[in-house]
Amino acid sequence: MTSPSDLLAARFQAVAAATEQRLIEALADAPLEGERTRPSHLMAAMRHGSLDGGKRLRPLLVVESAALFGVPLARAITAAAALECVHCYSLIHDDLPAMDNDLLRRGRPTVHVAFGEETAILAGDGLLTLAFDLLAGEDAHPDAQVRIALVRLLARASGIGGMVGGQMLDLAAEGRFSGGTPQALSEADIRTLQAMKTGALLRAGVEMGALLGGADAEARAALAAYGTALGVAFQIADDILDIEGDAAALGKSVGKDAQAGKATLVSALGMERARALLADLVAEAGGALAPFGAQGAVLAEVARFVATRQN
Amino acid sequence: MTSPSDLLAARFQAVAAATEQRLIEALADAPLEGERTRPSHLMAAMRHGSLDGGKRLRPLLVVESAALFGVPLARAITAAAALECVHCYSLIHDDLPAMDNDLLRRGRPTVHVAFGEETAILAGDGLLTLAFDLLAGEDAHPDAQVRIALVRLLARASGIGGMVGGQMLDLAAEGRFSGGTPQALSEADIRTLQAMKTGALLRAGVEMGALLGGADAEARAALAAYGTALGVAFQIADDILDIEGDAAALGKSVGKDAQAGKATLVSALGMERARALLADLVAEAGGALAPFGAQGAVLAEVARFVATRQN
C-alpha cells in the first residue's frame, strides 16, 4: 500500500509538472489575440520569476480541492497556474531593493538582480495581469459565472485587504516606510498580518478548488476552515525554519527575521508553544476535512507536510 | 444651440465626477467580503495616486461608447473606474525611481515621493488588482459573460502584449535596462511601442463601452478603428506638448523627450508632417464613427479635443 506521504509526493510531482507546462504555454513568445508583441526581455524576466520554481503548493491546493468534487487535473490547472502567477509576482516585487532587497531566491539571482529593477517591476505587473487573463479564458472553466467568481476571489485574496495589504502591514511593522518606526505587534496583530500576507493566497487555493468543483456552501466553508488553519501552520513552520533551517536546503538566507527584529508567532509565543500550536493547527486542518471522508486524505497530508517541511 | 466643445466639456465634467465618486467608494477604508483590513497608509497612497486626478479621458471613452448603445452613465461607471485604476497604477509605477524617476504628477508629489517607494509599488499593485475586482462585481454588468469579457479585454490591453509590454519597449529604446544601449527606432517601431504603451488602454476604453452596450461585430470594429486612430493622435499631441507645451498648464516638466533622446513620431517625421498626420488621424477617427450617425458627435469631438489639448 502506498503511504500517504508517498502519495502526496506523487501528487506534488504531477501538479508541479502540469503547472510548469501551463505557465510555459502562457508565457510563450507569440502574442495572443488583442496583444501586439511580447517583448523578449520582459518574457525572459517573467519566465525567470515563475518557471522551474518552488513546490507549487498553491496549485496543488487548487487541484486537490477541485479533485474532491471529481474535477480532473487538466480542468483545474489553468486556475492553479493563475494563482501561481500571483504568488510569483508577489515574490518578484517583495524581493525588490525598495522592499526586502533579496538577492537570492530558490538559489538563483532574484529577477531584479538578473534583469534590472525596472524590468522586475514590469515582470511582476505582467504576471499579476496574466493571472486574470488566464482566469478569463474558457479553459479555466466553461461557465462564465464560475470564471468571474474566480476573478473576484483571487482579486480579494491578493489585493488591498489580502496579500498586498499584508505586505504593507509587514513593512509598517518593521518601520520600513518614510518616517515609520518599528512597531511592537500583539499576537492578534501578527495573526492578521500573516493571514493577509501569506494565508490569504493559500486559502484562496482551496476556495478556488471549491468553485471549480461547484461545491455547496457547507463544503466550501469546510475547505475555507482548512485553508485558514493551513495558512497559519505554513507561516509558523516558515518562522521556525528561519530560526532552525538550513540555508542550503532552503535556497535562501536564514536568520533574517531575528536580524530584522521581526515579530512572528514564534517570537511572540516562544518555540515550545509555537510548536504546540503548529500541531493543533495540523489537527484542526485535518478535522475540517471530515465531511470529505477518506477523500480528504491528500489535503490532510498536505497540512502535515507543510508543518514539517525542511525547505 | 450648444456647441460640440461645450457639450464635450459638460460630458467630461459629468464623467469625471462620477468616476471620482466610484473610486472614492472603491477605496473606502472598510474591508469588503473576503478582505481582512485595509491598511490606512496603503489606502492613503492609493487615493493620492487615483483621486482628484486628470481629465478622466479613459472613463469618458467607456461611458460615451456605451452611451451609443443606450447604456446610461451609472451602468458604465464601474467598468470606467476599473480602467482608470489601471491607468493610475501605471502612472505610479512609471514614476518610480527605477523607471522614469518623476517627482511631480499633476502638480503634486508623485506617490513614491509622498509615501515612499515600497508603498508606491504596493499602491500600484493594489490598484491593478482592484481593477479586476471592480469588473467582477454585478454593478459592472449584470451578465457574467460580459463581465468576464471585460476582464479578458482589460488584461490583454494592459499586460505583456499591451501597456506593460509597451513600457518595456520604451525603456529598452532608451537603453534603460542592464547592459542596454539606446536603440534607433524606425517609424514602425515607434508606432508599435506607442500603440502598446498608451494606445492600448485608450482603445480598450471604447471596446469596453462596446461590450457594455452589447455591440455587434460591425459596431465593435468601428469603435476599435476609432480607438486606434485616437491612440496615435493622443500620443502625437503628447509629443508636441512635450516640445511646445507649458509646464505650468501641464503640471509636469516638459522637454523630457528631447533630453532623453527619445524617438517619437514628431522626431521621426518632423513637426510639420507630424501635425499633418495628427489632422489625418482626427479625420480618420471621425470617419470610423460614421455608422453611428449623429450619435457619434461626442466621440468625434473627443478626437478633436485630444489633438488640440493644451494640457
Residues of B in contact with A38 (CB under 8 A): 160-161, 165
Handedness of CA A309, A23, A228, A3 (dihedral sign): negative
Residues of A in contact with B33 (CB under 8 A): 156
Whole-number pLDDT of residue B179: 58
CB atoms within 10 A of CB A47: 17
Per the structure, the complete domain to which residue A64 belongs is given by 4-308
For A252, counting Cβ atoms within 10 Å of its Cβ (0-12 exposed, 13-18 middle, 19+ buried), the class is buried
Query: Which amino acid does the sequence have at B187?
Result: E
- The pLDDT of residue A311 is above 80: no
Q: Which CATH number fits the domain that encloses residue A178?
A: 1.10.600.10
Banded pLDDT at B250 (limits 50, 70, 90): low
Q: What is the mean pLDDT of residues A18-25?
A: 98
Band (B3; pLDDT cuts 50, 70, 90): confident
**Integer Cα distance of B148 and A137 in angstroms:** 8
| Chain B residue with minimum CA distance to A39 | B165
Quote the CA–CA distance of A98 and A88 in Å, as a whole number: 17
Kind and range of the H or E run holding A105: strand A104-105
Contact B278, B243 (CB under 8 A): no
Pairing of strands B108-109, B104-105: antiparallel
Can you give the pLDDT at residue A257? 73
As a whole number of angstroms, the distance between CA A49 and CA A127 comes to: 9
**Report for A240-254, B127-141, B168-182, B234-248: range of highest mean pLDDT:** B127-141
> A237 pairs with which residues across the strands?
none
Task: Say how far apart CA A173 and CA A241 lie, in whole Å.
Answer: 21
For B42, which of A115, A168, A200 is closest by C-beta distance?
A168
pLDDT given for residue A90 in this prediction: 98
Instruction: Tell which residue, B186, B192, B211, has the closest CA to residue B66.
Output: B211
Q: Which of A34, A149, A36, A26 is nearest to B211 (CA)?
A: A34
Identify the helix (H) or strand (E) that includes residue A204: helix A200-212
Please report the pLDDT score of residue B177 as a whole number. 67
Half-sphere exposure of B22 (CA within 13 A, CB side): 28
B chain contacts of residue A197, beta-carbon cutoff 8 Å: none
Please state, in angstroms and rounded to a whole number, the distance separating the CA atoms of residues B271 and B276.
9
Substitution target in B130, B160, B192 with the highest count of A β-carbons within 10 Å is B160
Instruction: Provide the 3-class DSSP secondary structure of residue A254.
Output: coil
Q: Do A126 and B152 touch (CB under 8 A)?
A: no
- Taking CB atoms and an 8 Å limit, are B192 and A37 in contact across chains? yes
Amino acid at A148: I
User: How far apart are the C-alpha atoms of A223 and A227, rounded to whole Å?
Assistant: 6
User: How far apart are alpha carbons B241 and B257 in whole angstroms?
Assistant: 10
B195-224 tens-digit pLDDT: 999 999 999 999 999 999 999 999 999 999
Inter-chain touch A164–B99, beta carbons under 8 Å: no
User: What is the band of A249 on the pLDDT scale with cuts at 50, 70, 90?
Assistant: low
**Beta bridge partner(s), residue A108:** A105
B37-46, B182-191, B241-250: segment of lowest average pLDDT: B241-250
Q: Which residue of A has its CA nearest to B149?
A: A136
pLDDT above 70 for A110: yes
Burial of A269 (0-12, 13-18, 19+ CB in 10 A): middle
Per-residue pLDDT tens over the stretch A207-234: 999 999 999 999 999 999 999 999 999 9
- pLDDT value at position B299? 98
Q: How many Cβ atoms are within 10 Å of A101's Cβ, its own excluded?
A: 11
What does the alpha-carbon distance between residue B79 and residue B136 come to, in Å, rounded to a whole number? 10
DSSP A259-285: HTT---HHHHH-HHHHHHHHHHHHHHH
Exposure of A109 in the CB half-sphere (CA atoms within 13 A)? 9
Q: How confident is the model at residue B184 (pLDDT cuts 50, 70, 90)?
A: confident
Residue A104's SS3 state is strand
In chain B, how many domains are there?
1
Distance CA A286, CA B74 (A): 47
Cβ of A168 and B33 within 8 Å?
no
Q: Are the Cβ atoms of A171 and B132 closer than 8 angstroms?
A: no
The CA distance from B250 to B285, in Å, is 25
**Which residue bears the cell 486524505?**
A297
Which residues on chain A are in Cβ contact (under 8 Å) with B122? 93, 164, 167-168, 171
Q: Is the pLDDT of residue A180 over 90?
A: no
> Would the CB atoms of B161 and A115 count as touching at under 8 Å?
no
Average model confidence (pLDDT) for chain B?
Answer: 93
Q: How far is A229 from chain B (nearest CA, A)?
A: 16
Q: Which three cell numbers stand for residue B52?
A: 482628484
In the predicted model, what is the mean pLDDT of chain A?
93
With cut-offs at 50, 70 and 90, classify the pLDDT of residue B123.
very high
Q: Please report, rounded to a whole number, the percentage of residues in chain B having pLDDT higher than 90.
A: 84
Find chain B residues with C-beta within 8 A of A23's C-beta: none
- Average pLDDT score over residue span B154-181: 88
Query: In the predicted model, is pLDDT for residue B141 greater than 80?
Result: yes
Question: In chain B, what is the straight-line distance between the N-terminal and C-terminal CA atoms, in Å?
Answer: 27
Q: Which residue has the higher pLDDT, B302 or A242?
A: B302
Residue A183 has what pLDDT? Answer: 76
The per-residue pLDDT for B283 is: 98
Backbone angles phi, psi at B182, to 5 degrees: -55, 140
Q: Range with the lowest mean pLDDT among A127-131, A262-266, B162-166, B175-179?
A: B175-179
Find which of B29, B132, B150 to mutate to test the A interface (most A CBs within 10 Å of its CB). Answer: B132
In DSSP terms, B108 is beta-bridged to: B105
Q: Looking at the complex, report in whole angstroms how far the Cα of residue A227 sits from the nearest Cα belonging to chain B.
A: 13
Q: What is the DSSP string of chain B?
A: ---HHHHHHHHHHHHHHHHHHHHHHHT-SS--TT-----HHHHHHHHHHHTT-S--HHHHHHHHHHHTTT--HHHHHHHHHHHHHHHHHHHHHHTSTTTT---EETTEE-HHHHH-HHHHHHHHHHHHHHHHHHHHSTTT-S-HHHHHHHHHHHHHHHSTTTHHHHHHHHHHHTT-STT----PPPHHHHHHHHIIIIIHHHHHHHHHHHHHTT--HHHHHHHHHHHHHHHHHHHHHHHHHHHH--HHHHTS--SHHHHTT---HHHHH-HHHHHHHHHHHHHHHHHHTGGGGGGGHHHHHHHHHHHH---
Mutation target for B interface from A96, A148, A174: give the one with most B CBs within 10 A.
A148
Per-residue pLDDT at A1 exceeds 80: no
Contacts of B89 by beta carbon, 8 Å cutoff, 6+ apart: A125, B49, B123, B124, B125, B126, B127, B128, B131
Residue A138 DSSP code: T
Please tell me the least confidently modeled range out of A67-76, A156-165, B102-111, B127-136: B102-111
User: Are the Cβ atoms of A37 and B136 closer than 8 angstroms?
Assistant: no
Give the amino acid at B209: G
| No. of helices (H) and no. of strands (E), chain A | 16, 2
CB contacts of A116 in chain B (<8 Å) are 98, 177-178
ipTM: 0.96
Question: Which residue is it, cell 485587504?
Answer: A161
Question: At residue A18, does pLDDT exceed 80?
Answer: yes
* Res B302: pLDDT: 97
Mutate which: B93, B95, B129, vs A, most A CBs within 10 A? B129
Residues in chain B, total: 311
